[in-house]
Structure formats: C-alpha cells, structure tokens
C-alpha cells in the first residue's frame, strides 16, 4: 500500500468518524430539546390550565395567538411567550369592554387590567394574578422561564371568566382504523397537556389525544 493509499484511507476513516460524531451530537441535541419540551409541558399539565376555548370562539385568530405564546414557552423562548399571551389578554379585555359597554376608554393594557379587576370582582386568586400581570407589563429585564407558566395560568383563568364555556367537542380519525370519531370533553378536563382517552366506535380501540391549543 502506498503512502497516498494510506492517507486516503485515514482521511476516509477520520471523515466517517467526524460525520458519525456530528450525527450523534445532533441526536443528543434533539434528545435534550425533546426532554426540556416535555418537562415544560408536564409543568403546564401539573397546573391544570383550562384552555380558553370560549375566547377562541369569539376572537378571530385568538387560538393562533394563544398557541404561539404557549409554544414559545414550550420551545424555551420565554421572552417571546410573554408578549403573545399578554396580547391575548388585551384583545379579550378590549372585546369584553366593548361588549358590555364598560365605563371609560382604556388606552393600554394596564388600564384595561384596572377596568377588568373591578368588572370581575375581588376574588383573592384573581387579585394575585393581576399583581403578577402588572409586574410583567412594567418589567424591563429578561423574563425568567419559571415565571411563564403562572402568567399563562392567570391569563387563561381571566379569559375563561370573560368567555365561559361548559364543554368542548373533539374530533379526529382513529389511529388504528381511520374511522372519524367525536367526543365531548367537560371544561374541567380540558386543560393544557391533559391526555384524553377516546374509544373508537368502529374498532373499539382507545385513542390518546393530548390537549394542545
């Protein structure tokens, strides 16, 4: 074997090892991303945050904006999450203020929050949520990731009071036989990250549906 042959083989081996190492690192990176995503989703699921489907029904693009806010948190982008979920709150408050003919003409989110606090009443849990939201509006430093779930929880709670609902109709195709199915889910079970088990009427097998907006 010539020196050139040896160099070619060594180069090929090193190139293969480099490619393998890169692939392994990519897989490890993806595994870490997936792990963090699931940890955040489990955190939201633990809080049992009711998805504000009533808000989605009333507000055009409401679901998309809310979904983007939640997804930003799940993907590890807390400072992108806050503006989107706060936008949901502002849009919802503006709609409700107009709908009920609220007093005054609030000009910004802070003023809308002040109005909604008197409109919704002085429940202890809501009052705590309003304090958190006021702090987030006036906060200029980087938002901590652990603050986001509480923000999503309080905003969702306010939206669910403003736009109440009793149940949700879910539909999909069976994973096993492809037959379409529907199910009615009560509000108390319609929380972020919850896994709903639905029996297919045709093949009698159970489908798992995880609730994401």
Pair 113, 138: CB distance under 8 Å: no
Q: Give domain limits for the chain.
A: 8-47, 50-162, 167-210
CA dist., res. 77 & res. 144, Å (int):
10
* Mean per-residue pLDDT over the chain, rounded: 85
Residue 179 pLDDT grade (very low, low, confident, very high; cuts 50, 70, 90): very high
Q: What is the pLDDT of residues 83-105, one digit of tens each?
A: 899 999 999 999 999 999 888 88
Q: How far, CA to CA in Å, does 192 sit from each of 11, 52, 57, 129, 186?
A: 51, 10, 17, 18, 13
Residue 2 has pLDDT above 50, yes or no: no
The 10s digit of each residue's pLDDT in 112-150 is: 988 888 888 766 677 778 878 887 777 656 778 888 999
198: phi then psi, degrees, rounded to nearest 5: -125, 125
With CA atoms as reference, report the closest residue to 189 among 209, 207, 205.
Answer: 209
Q: Determine whether domain 50-162 maps to CATH 1.10.890.
A: no
More confident residue, 186 or 123: 186
Q: Among 32-46, 126-140, 148-162, name the one with the lowest average pLDDT.
A: 126-140
- pTM for the model: 0.82
- Both tokens of 165, joined, read 């609902």
């Amino acid at each position: 074997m010539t020196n050139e042959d040896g160099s070619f083989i060594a180069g090929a081996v090193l190139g293969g090892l480099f490619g393998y190492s890169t692939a392994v690192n990519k897989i490890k990176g993806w595994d870490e991303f997936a792990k963090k995503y699931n940890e955040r989703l489990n955190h939201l699921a633990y809080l049992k945050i009711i998805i504000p489907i009533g808000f989605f029904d009333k507000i055009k693009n409401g679901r998309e904006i809310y979904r983007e806010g939640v997804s930003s948190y799940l993907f590890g982008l807390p400072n992108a999450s806050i503006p989107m979920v706060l936008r949901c709150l502002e849009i919802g408050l503006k709609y409700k203020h107009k709908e009920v003919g609220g007093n005054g003409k609030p000009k910004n989110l802070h003023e809308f929050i002040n109005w909604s606090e008197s409109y919704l009443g002085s429940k202890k849990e809501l009052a705590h949520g309003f304090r958190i939201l006021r702090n987030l509006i006036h906060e200029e430093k980087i938002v901590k990731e652990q603050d986001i779930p509480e923000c999503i929880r309080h905003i969702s709670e306010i939206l669910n009071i403003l736009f109440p609902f009793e149940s949700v109709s879910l539909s999909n195709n069976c994973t096993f036989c492809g037959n379409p199915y529907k199910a009615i889910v009560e509000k108390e079970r319609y929380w972020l990250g919850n896994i709903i088990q639905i029996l297919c009427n045709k093949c009698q097998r159970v489908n798992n549906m995880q609730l994401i907006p």
